[in-house]
Amino acid sequence: MALRGIRGATLLAADDSAEMAEAVVELLTEVMSRNNLTLDDFVSVVFTATPDLHCAFPAAAARQLGFVDIPLMCAQEIDVAGAVERAIRILAHVNSDLPRGEIQHVYLRGAEVLRQDLAQ
């Protein structure tokens, strides 16, 4: 078993806490499904949000899925002119038997534009 990093992102239509919770749960659920993961496989997750999101902490939504004893951290993305707005990104550290090249990174709700080389 190896430690792997999984990238992902989702976009919100508005700075709304209910939408954020829904989008984060959707993103983490899809990461788990596509990579055949359980909560026990997660080591930690770093969440970032663009500077235009103020409604809630993305990590708080992960608690709904049972991420209660997994280290979670939120940070703000660099405010780059012209960057995609209302984006939440994740970097999940997981234990997995999958080779690095078989890890499936997940980009939802239009976030595929961020990493077209990784989006599936």
Catalytic residue among 4, 86, 107, 109: 107
In the residue annotation, 4 being an active-site residue is answered as: no
Q: DSSP code of 84?
A: P
Catalytic residue among 89, 100, 102, 109: 89
Catalytic residue among 22, 30, 34, 115: 115
Q: What phi, psi does 92 have (nearest 5°)?
A: -100, 130
In the residue annotation, 107 being an active-site residue is answered as: yes
Catalytic residue among 19, 30, 55, 63: 63
Catalytic residue among 19, 30, 77, 112: 77
Catalytic residue among 74, 85, 86, 112: 74
In the residue annotation, 112 being an active-site residue is answered as: no
3-class SS of residue 102 = helix
Please, which residues bridge with residue 106 across strands? 8
In the residue annotation, 100 being an active-site residue is answered as: no
Q: How far apart are CA 83 and CA 71, in angstroms?
A: 28
Q: Which segments of the chain are extended strands (E)?
A: 2-11, 42-49, 72-76, 87-96, 106-108
In the residue annotation, 63 being an active-site residue is answered as: yes
In the residue annotation, 77 being an active-site residue is answered as: yes
Q: Provide the annotated active-site residues.
A: 7, 63, 74, 77, 89, 107, 115
